[in-house]
A and B are shown apart, each in its own frame.
Chain A
Amino acid sequence: MDPADRQKNDQFLRLYVENEEALRGFVRSLVPTLDDARDVMQEVAVVLWKKFETLDSMDNFRRWAFGVARFEALAFRRDKARDRHVFSEDLMSLLEAEASAQGQQVQGEAQALEQCLTRLPQKQRALIKGAYESGTKIDEMARETGRTPMSLYKALHRIRLILADCIQNSLKQEEGLA
């Protein structure tokens, strides 16, 4: 790899890493499932990489990347998720504007999540771990844990709410300390 390519890789890597977490969350908000979000993010990353050279100013990377993410989510919806229930483009635009403006707010969420996970009771931790393991089917997991799928969905929702609140509280505390 020549020095110019290395420099380009390096620059891309930094910008992508900086924005990737927020982008993934945004993409997740636009497509029906986690697997869909993974697929779309794969495309987003490839497009960003391929078109990185066309970016005029690195200062515009974030805005540009969110635009690409929205476009790819729309394309996904058009190609693969026609029969699923998805939002209008108006709402997608609003979400894009707000997600791309969140910036620093999102930084630190992953760290907070790790801490919050360690605070969960073992049983809840095991439940959420099982649910997010690759290939897990909620129906199968419900059978294995002796629950109905609906009660499992509800239990997972409660845990996610606990985690979401915990993350927000942790970030507030950090802000207070800062």
Chain B
Amino acid sequence: MKSSDSHMGLIDRYLSGQATSEETAQLESRMMEDPQLRADFLAYARLDVALPEAMGGNPALAEVQATPLPQRSWKRWVPTAIAAVLMIGAIVTNAMWSKRGTDHPNESLTVAQFGELKDCRWVVSDARISSGDEIKIGQRIELSSGSAEVLFHTGARLTIVGPAIIEPRSENSGFLTLGEVYLVAETPESKGFTIETPVSKFIDIGTAFTATVSPDGLSRLEVSEGEVDVVLDGMEPKRLRRGETIYVEPGEQQILTRIESGDGTPDFRFPTIEPPSRDDYADQASGKATIRVARGELKTSPRQSGSGPASILLDGMGQPKQDAPRQSAFFQTGQKGSFIVDLGQSINLTKINSYSWHQHYLIEEHRERAQQRFTLYGYAGDELPDLSQPPNEAGWTRLARVNSDQFFRVNERLDRPAQQACSITAAQGSLGRYRYLLWKVNRNTFFGEFDVFGAP
């Protein structure tokens, strides 16, 4: 550093959060005049911010012995709510570590090798990777496109679909920063194979699952065979079985979204989500909550094909039949809209369920209005924010994003369940305290019921 010791000392005090206002003013005044001091300041700040990564990502410093590296605690990421997209931040340095890792082959254990590679393009464009190449603990695999098979020595078989970033963390685990991986773990040694994401940990109990992390941090788990435990900070593992899927939102609340298809009867029976309730906080019988349309218009029609009123969503019941517009609430064709529930006061929310049902009587595949596609927001204050503003700019807190077509991987119209329920909960038990809930709805869904659980 070319700047004087006293100036560097000031910089250190500023970046350590110790500088007084006088010292900050002094540093600012010097920096305004001295380009060298600004350059040294920026370099020192870059060093400060690079050190945690260097410490975590550098095998030499992690005291690697003959045993696998201790896994970086996934919990460490949770309190700081680091989304996957921020994890991309680790790519630069770790990509470099990875590249240089080949200079120090004894510093980490080989735990897997590449299997079949299909049309692979790598983030590091000059990467030369072939089937059979060994993979070490901590070695980042950064795939731009194509798919790559990673064969763990335990027998676990991971298929990575680009764009994706993943690194083995031990002989039987990997950290998925971004993208989609499909795991098959059929051997006894591979039982318990774990995929960590920035917000969760998926532990294989049975045989196969798909884990996905989207660029903004939303994690998704879909169990195709056997069972998988979802582990989140501060909660008992949640076991998912074949055919079940769950989303985990990034953020401190660790919000979980579960969507299920129903039995297609007025009983609204689902595998784990309970039927519409008359005992929730917002139920109209309690008189505590009200609902109205905040944006858009419910479909009106002189015939029976128009929507029922918004209040139908708090009546404790789903629709009585598969195509019941009057007992549903839905927006004008082609329109988006939003519903607001006013709970009367801020309450501690624990669960929010929504139910939809639609299938044309004659045309089986006509189920468009069963799809649940909405973003749910909460607002704690007593005065409603400006509803003409986008919710995130007006002070609403986004709780969950729901897209059931994506969830059910709907390619054909018949892939879409006609009766659906979505349940939004939080790993820690509480979704937060809110008075208002805003459903920003992107489809003309036939909603039958919203249930809001919580207590003041």
Contacts and interface: CB of A to CB of B under 8 A. Distances in A.
A39 B82 CA distance: 8
Contact of A20 (B42, B60, B92, B144): B92
A50 B392 CA distance: 13
Nearest to B54: A113
Given A21-B93, A42-B82, A46-B83, A13 B16 contact: no
Interface string B65-104: 0000000010010001111011011011101110010000
A29 B41 contact: yes
Contacts of B43: 25, 109, 164, 167-168
Contact of B24 (A10, A85, A133, A165): A85
Interface stretch (B32-40, B110-118, B223-231, B272-280): B32-40
Contacts, number: 192
B46 A168 contact: no
The majority secondary structure among interface residues of chain A is helix
A120 B165 CA distance: 31
Interface stretch (A53-61, A98-106, A140-148): A98-106
Contacts of B32: 90-91, 94
Given A14-B123, A129-B61, A160-B44, A6 B163 contact: yes
A163 B47 contact: yes
- Interface of B: prevailing SS: helix
Interface in B113-136: 121, 123
A76 interface: no
Interface in A20-43: 20-22, 24-29, 32-35, 37-39, 41-42
Interface stretch (B7-15, B349-357, B413-421, B422-430): B7-15
A10 B163 CA distance: 6
A156 to B, nearest CB: 8
B46 A111 contact: no
Interface of A: 1, 6, 9-10, 12-14, 16-18, 20-22, 24-29, 32-35, 37-39, 41-42, 45-46, 49-50, 84-88, 90-91, 94-95, 98-99, 102, 106, 109-111, 113-114, 117-118, 125, 128-129, 132-135, 138, 153, 157, 160-161, 163-165, 167-168
Given A16-B88, A98-B38, A128-B51, 9 more contacts: A20-B91, A21-B92, A24-B89, A42-B81, A46-B216, A85-B21, A91-B31, A109-B43, A110-B53
